Structure 1
Amino acid sequence: MPLTVQQGKDTVIFVTKEDHSTPSTVSLPKDEPPPGLILPDGSINWSCPCLGGMATGPCGVEFREAFSCFHYSEAEPKGSDCYEAFKTMQDCMAQYPTLYNRDGDDEDELENAIDTNTEKEKSKENRDAAVINSASSPS
């Protein structure tokens, strides 16, 4: 039988090789979905993987302040009172262009891929039209 030790909010389970070879009897609660970005109490889950490390990077403090401002904003339109917080975050991110991709390389790559695909589709349509025209033309 595995040894279980409670450490704060975590449970540590020590198993032997024999324990590991048998199917687990541990199950997650089915009635509680894993927390997402917004916790059930309405607060922000800064540990959510969906943030991609933004809350902990070199501009993590600025990001958290801007995101919190927007999340809790009651202004109309929502977040319109957060201009300064987002400006501060943007200024911070500008200091780390390789990390935050300030120059938009990903957008350029996406646009190039779309343009290339569009050109391929047009070329294929032109070839198909030429084949149809040559097939229907009397010789």
Structure 2
Amino acid sequence: MEIKFNISKSFSETSISINSSHKNDNLILAAKAIDKIINQEILIGYQNEKRTVIPLYQIISIHTDNKNIICETQYNTYRLNKRIYEMKELLPSALFLQLSNSEIVNISQIKEFNLTKSGNYQVNLLNGTVTYTSRRYAQLIRKELLK
């Protein structure tokens, strides 16, 4: 499947179009997945005691910091009221990858994996952040993602 971007200042709002010679189950599933990610899947984050709606597609990573769960997006950082294991169950596994007991990242934000001497992976994200997998999750990532 080919993906094209049509960028122009003449567009008043963003839209997604699927072009095909005929409708099939894969196209319907793709449309439903896009709709779910863009329009339905959200988190509620807190910033300065204000509640904010966070669309899943904006999330870069979710990690712990001094017993707080932090959600980093392209634009801001928010505090979440759920634990990492609760977030793992809530987030779609096709879009998010757990790197350790304390961090989950958006798969689309991963730039590259580098194997370290200790057998873990250094994970470089598109925003320049560098993080590492734990040994336990390095094995799972090796089996599931890096086949």
TM-score, structure 1 length as denominator? 0.20
Larger RCO, structure (CA 8 Å, separation 6 or more):
2
Bigger Rg, structure 1 or 2? 1
Q: Which is richer in strand?
A: 2
TM-score, structure 2 length as denominator? 0.20
